[in-house]
Amino acid sequence: MNWDNLKVLLAISRAGSLTGAAHFLDVDATTMGRRLTALEQELGVILFVRSKSGFVATEAGAIAIERALQIEASYHRMTDEISQSHASAVGMMRIVGNSWTMQRLALSGMDRFLAANPGLDLRFMTRAATTRISGEASIQMWFEVPPESAEYTVTLGQVPYAVYHAAHLQEAPASWVAFFDEEASRPIINRAVRRLSKHAEKVRLTATDASVLVSAVAAGAGKGLLPMCLAEGRDDLVPVGTGRPDFSRTLYLYLNPDTVGYKRVQVTVEWVRKAFNAAFLPKT
C-alpha cells in the first residue's frame, strides 16, 4: 500500500477537508482528491462522506485511519530511534503559530539551530489557532489559547506590549487600531485596549496579525497596543507615555503527548525556550 496515500487519509481526517489537507501536505487539492480516490479503489470501500461540517469518515474509513495512525506512529518511532544514534536531531519538525511570532522566531538563532542539527527539517506554519495537528512531531505557539485536553502546555513567558502612534503625527490620535480574532475564545488584548482608551476614543481598524497593526499605526491610522519587540528601533513609531509596558500577554507552547518524547521535539522546544528573550522581549 502506498504510504503517500495513507498520509492523505490522515491529513483529510485531521483537516476535515481536501483544501485543509492539501495545505497540510503542501500539495494541491486536485492531487489530494486523486490520491484519495486511488486509495478507495485500492481498498474497495468509501472512506469519507461529505457533510455540512466537512469530510466525515465512514465505518471503513475509521478503521483505515486507526491502522494508518499505527503505521505512522511506528514510522516516527523508527525515525526517533535512528536519531538517538546521532548527536543531533533527525526528521521533520513542524512549528505552528501566528505569522509575526514565526517571523521573530526565525530571526532568533534559527540558523545556528539548523547548523547544529543538519538532519532536522523545520516547517513553519501559520494557521488558525483552532486547528490542531495530531500524530506529527509538532509544537504550537499561541497566546491565551486553551489547550486541548490531551496536550501538554509549556509557558514560554510574558510578551510586553506598549501603546504607540505614528512619528509624523504631532500627538497621539483619538482613534485606535487593535488586534481582533473572531475565533479567539479569550480576547484578553481587547479588554486591555478598552481599559487604556478614553471615553470618546474608538477602534477604527482591526487585524488578526500584529505586523499588520504595526504598519497601520506607522501610517497614521491610529494608535495601537503593539508588541514592543516589533515596535522598538523603528523611526516611524513613538511610544505614548513613558514607553514602558502597558500590558503583557502570556505566550505558550502546546505539545502533542504522542510525540513529546521525540528527540526532535525536545531539542526544538529547548531552542524555542532559549530563543524567547531575544525574539519577544525588547532590547532596552
* Cβ burial, residue 264 (10 Å; 0-12/13-18/19+): buried
**H or E, element range at 187:** none
pLDDT at 48: 92
pLDDT at 78: 75
Backbone phi and psi for residue 147, each to the nearest 5 degrees, phi listed first: -70, 155
pLDDT band with cut points at 50, 70 and 90 for residue 146: low
Kindly give the interhelix angle for 3-15 and 29-43, rounded to the nearest 10 degrees.
110
- Output 108 or 130, whichever has higher pLDDT: 108
Identify the CA nearest to 100 among candidates 212, 218, 222.
212
Residue 135 Rama label (left phi>0; alpha psi -120 to 50; beta): left
Domains in the chain, ordered, with CATH?
3-81 (1.10.10.10), 91-284 (3.40.190.290)
Mean pLDDT across the chain, nearest whole number? Answer: 86
Q: Give the mean model confidence (pLDDT) for residues 214-225.
A: 96
Q: Give the mean model confidence (pLDDT) for residues 211-217.
A: 95
pLDDT at 84: 63
- Whole-model pTM? 0.72
pLDDT at 180: 78
**Which of 65-74, 78-87, 104-113 is the most confident on average?**
104-113
